[in-house]
Amino acid sequence: MDETLYGQLLDLAVGALLLTAVLVLWRRELAIVIRNFALQGVALAALVALLAAEENSWELGVVAAGVLVLRAGVLPHLLRRALAGAGPQRRETRPLVNVAASLLAAAVLTLLAYAVSRPLVELAPSPAAEAIPVAMAVVLIGFFVLVTRRLALSQLIGFLLLDNGITAIGFLTTAGAGPIVELGVSLDVLFVVLVLQILTTRMREAFGDTDLDELRELRD
């Protein structure tokens, strides 16, 4: 693949990763948030597919297909099932940080990611290395979603955003992790999602709510 075209397509893929992370941070309707998360899974699979084409690796191509199925298909499906059983709680109505402040925080975190990642990029300049700051920004935004949302399902999505960013960094820094490593990580993530979905269902059945602040008040 031509180096210029490869760099442009890689920038487009990581740009889509960052855009979908910001959209998840911006929107409050959980159905739309899950849809944006699924689109991020497509962008992550496209990133891995580009690396596979550049490295001429059929193994990475298989991993890209697995990432697409798991992160754009299976995980969003499980999240939709959890949302369907959530009753009236289909919108994050009381986040700890409002929309304007959240978007400002996303901009600050992106700048921070570029500042922190710059020394790493300068060690070995390449199109993949230059995309690392964007993936780092996705990690920070995912963590921000995780700590500023009140609903358990929203926090789970924040955790998955964080994991997508970490996965992207892993592929960009190592020119593609081995299929066995990626399979192990993906199975761990799937296991966590299944466990948290069960816990969310039990919380709703026992307390009638999954707002973690209200449950904390109930404990007090």
Higher-confidence residue of 189 and 207: namely 189
Compute CA distances 45 → 32, 49, 202, 205, 215, whole Å: 20, 6, 33, 36, 37
Judge residue 59's burial from the number of C-beta atoms within 10 Å of its C-beta, 0-12 exposed, 13-18 middle, 19 or more buried.
Answer: middle
> What pTM does this model have?
0.83
Summarised one tens digit per residue, pLDDT across range 111-165 is 999 999 888 888 877 888 889 999 999 999 999 998 998 887 888 888 889 889 9
pLDDT of residue 37: 94
The residue-averaged pLDDT of 193-205 equals 59
The residue-averaged pLDDT of 30-46 equals 94
pLDDT of residue 24: 92
User: What range does the domain containing 58 cover?
Assistant: 3-219
- Token pair belonging to 217: 């008040």
**In whole numbers, what is the pLDDT of the chain averaged over residues?**
81
42, 72 contact by CB (below 8 A)? yes
Distance CA 109, CA 124 (A): 23
pLDDT of residue 201: 60
Start-end of H helices in the chain: 3-26, 30-55, 58-69, 75-84, 99-123, 127-130, 132-148, 152-174, 179-207, 212-219
Confidence of residue 210 (pLDDT cuts 50, 70, 90): very low
Between CA 115 and CA 120, with CA 118 as vertex, the angle to 5 degrees is 135
Q: Considering its fold, how many domains does the chain have in total?
A: 1
pLDDT of residue 198: 58
Confidence of residue 194 (pLDDT cuts 50, 70, 90): low
Distance CA 116, CA 24 (A): 23
pLDDT of residue 212: 47
112, 144 contact by CB (below 8 A)? no
